[in-house]
Chain A
């Protein structure tokens, strides 16, 4: 985010022992070296970024500090004395708190009950609720202790996790990719809380791969690549480009992106799509309207859990609708068609989970090619599989999309996330779809593969395919999309041309506050600039 204040200088940096120091930490899993010779120190009150791509070893390192796993080598010093962190309870007793990327809350219990479960003994709920309210007021983390977790938004759930840590008065707080589930406005509030904690002397380890956030928030940064420390810096004195070079070893690549056609034929129309979720804690879709034409990329932004899953299933056919008309694919009312029938109309789909949904982990790439391409690519003969054809097609995907693997017989799970995603995207694109729906195209993928995938989507658009992308990464959507809409609480905003929309506007819309459809081209006048919550 540009034009943000740079982090305030450190409140106090005593010259004696750091709060936490790692020396030569290594972790070896069977066949994988996750960390090697990592040195890292955090002073009291310091906000230190741990920066690195997916798979760089950030999470493993944090799990070692929090006692979830043990290091294979190296030493860990807490306030000057060496400790062996046995388990998370031990870490908490030392004064280490951690907020995980994936929350660990019981949806059917209330906030205060969830917090009580994490505390030793059996605290009195009334007194605990009082303490929660105190902490939440002190740090600007409004949350009602009596509400049940399933009724909370993702941002509120994260607050519960943070409050749960704060109640134990931590002296070191570890935050694992905390902003991936927040709107830009909610991110700002989180940062205010973290700065306040830092001013009070709490150290913070802030894990992220988002360079702008780190520049805005963190005093110092340790950069990891391939499990090793590749550099330390003061983010305020760096540019995103220079930090990216430390993180990926080269300059950030960019996509080439020409103007979109706007006169292409209609390939996907959602005409008042409403659908109740199968999951009791899911999101119901309400009256969704959207057109996607040949030759354009339409993006749908939104905080996760706002109906993206349900929308994707309704388009792909994994969840069949009660009526035909709400989903129209290439001019055919497809609401009651099954996934294979929709595929025959020219729909291809890249789901967000790669292993287990987009690909069968234990099966070879050739078998995984069969998964969606069997009928369209002539891999069947009288009910029997022509395995040679499947292998040929897998080989084509591997060559055309530069997939690093052991060949068509390699098991899907043996590939890295980025390479498997390239294979899946390649499998769908090589079937020459008329409409491609792509969910989180680059989630958990390294920068090089992400750029390649984005460029592939743009090239596909230029060849006249209609592309719908659903992503939580706003930067990604702005990079590749021609038009952007926002999904919030199961409703879809009108679309806006990406070129004339700002990140801020989309951020406001992500809280569900967009002008009515007939005011589509006016600025959101009179809207609160700081919505209560996402």
Chain B
């Protein structure tokens, strides 16, 4: 008989091995799916996981995709560590994009070098402002931030649609739901000639380092960890629970807003109603696969980016539906949660109770 037996203490090894195990199981699951769909699993594996990174351009695309993921995930991780469950990074991402677009359109035609920094600031503030709504409702009325932040994603989506179908629609855009293309001064400088990789990636790495310093070195980060692990101890020590909610949501919102700014000022070059492409939701998985740790999030965002691009490749070359990416994301989270059980438990093979002797 197989039994789950509580470990005397959580396994350190398992807490890092668990994401790797989840990745392996996801790959195995993927092979099964390819086979079931009548595709050669080896070919599927090659196209899904190797094709995307076969050349420099592929790698640059991978880093480009990973940029918004790691930004959103590091911001979420700060809140998650304090049990502040911001599920609405997607909405904060869109509002960051909207705010940055607002600045770009208002100063259209300017050559000023200050435009881009102003857009960065606007993006972060836009995301933070959107996250301030659940923070306010949570601290004032004890409204559940999971529900409020999630609902606000749909509000954000409708708001973006209204902007690009209405006041911000490009007059020369043949009625497409999109704004004018940004002027050069409002676009992120490129990092590599001939690719779409822009300096937002460097910005994201800097935010990761800052996130690490905040979470692991600062007293505020320590207080957040205490609040997450033992709320009564935080109250005893005098760490304000309300401030934790505010910090968690505002930093998460700012990081997601920054990611949104990077998208409109980077690969898109304009705001469209398709700006939210699920990065904010995928970042939740990234944060957990990365163990809410800055370095882990860096690796996990690369993996998640690979799943995105691999899904597109599978669509192109294997004739599979685009939802294949979502299936892989779902499997990854599913297997991760399953593997995490073994941090606190171990599997033991055991005969019937020892009394029957």
Q: Which residues of A contact B (CB under 8 A)?
A: 29-32, 70-73, 84, 316-318, 338-343, 349, 351, 353, 356-363, 367, 370-372, 374, 380, 383-385, 411, 413-414
Across the interface, do B238 and A317 meet the contact criterion of CB distance under 8 Å?
yes
| 4 nearest CB pairs, A to B | A339-B238, A340-B238, A31-B8, A357-B232
Bound Cα distance from A29 to B5, whole angstroms:
10
Bound Cα distance from A317 to B238, whole angstroms:
8
B24 interface contact, C-beta 8 A: no
**Contact partners of A29 in chain B: CB under 8 A:** 8
**Contact partners of B213 in chain A: CB under 8 A:** 384
Contact A30:B8 (CB < 8 A) given known A318-B236, A349-B236: yes
**Contact partners of B218 in chain A: CB under 8 A:** 383-385
Could you jot down 15 A-B contacts, CB within 8 Å? Answer: A29-B8, A70-B353, A71-B355, A318-B238, A338-B238, A339-B236, A339-B237, A360-B229, A367-B222, A372-B236, A372-B237, A383-B218, A384-B219, A385-B218, A411-B9
Across the interface, do B354 and A73 meet the contact criterion of CB distance under 8 Å?
yes
Bound Cα distance from A394 to B9, whole angstroms:
22
Across the interface, do A363 and B229 meet the contact criterion of CB distance under 8 Å?
yes
Chain B: interface residue total (CB-CB under 8 A) = 26
Please provide the chain B residues from 228 to 285 with a CB less than 8 Å away from any CB of chain A in the complex: 229-230, 232-233, 235-238, 240
Across the interface, do A318 and B9 meet the contact criterion of CB distance under 8 Å?
no
**Contact partners of B9 in chain A: CB under 8 A:** 411, 413-414
B217 interface contact, C-beta 8 A: yes
Starting from the known contacts A370-B219, A372-B237, 18 additional A-B residue pairs (CB-CB under 8 Å) come to A317-B238, A318-B238, A339-B236, A339-B237, A339-B238, A340-B238, A356-B233, A359-B230, A359-B233, A361-B230, A363-B225, A371-B236, A372-B236, A384-B219, A385-B218, A385-B219, A385-B222, A413-B9
**Contact partners of A317 in chain B: CB under 8 A:** 238
Across the interface, do A318 and B235 meet the contact criterion of CB distance under 8 Å?
yes
B331 interface contact, C-beta 8 A: no
Across the interface, do B238 and A351 meet the contact criterion of CB distance under 8 Å?
no
Partner of B240, one of A84, A338, A361, A363: A338
Across the interface, do B355 and A84 meet the contact criterion of CB distance under 8 Å?
yes
**Contact partners of B235 in chain A: CB under 8 A:** 318, 339, 357
Contact A383:B220 (CB < 8 A) given known A30-B6, A70-B355, A338-B240: yes
B46 interface contact, C-beta 8 A: no
Encoded as 1 (CB less than 8 Å from any A CB) or 0, chain B from 1 to 19 comes to 0000111111000000000
Contact A356:B220 (CB < 8 A) given known A30-B5, A84-B355, A340-B238: no
Partner of A316, one of B7, B217, B236: B236
**Shortest CB distance A372–B (Å):** 5
Q: Which residues of B contact A (CB under 8 A)?
A: 5-10, 213, 217-220, 222, 225-226, 229-230, 232-233, 235-238, 240, 353-355
**Contact partners of A380 in chain B: CB under 8 A:** 219
**Contact partners of B355 in chain A: CB under 8 A:** 70-71, 84
**Contact partners of A316 in chain B: CB under 8 A:** 236
**Contact partners of A339 in chain B: CB under 8 A:** 235-238
Bound Cα distance from A351 to B236, whole angstroms:
8
**Contact partners of B230 in chain A: CB under 8 A:** 356-357, 359-361
**Contact partners of A367 in chain B: CB under 8 A:** 222
**Contact partners of B232 in chain A: CB under 8 A:** 353, 356-357
Bound Cα distance from A411 to B9, whole angstroms:
10
Bound Cα distance from A363 to B233, whole angstroms:
11
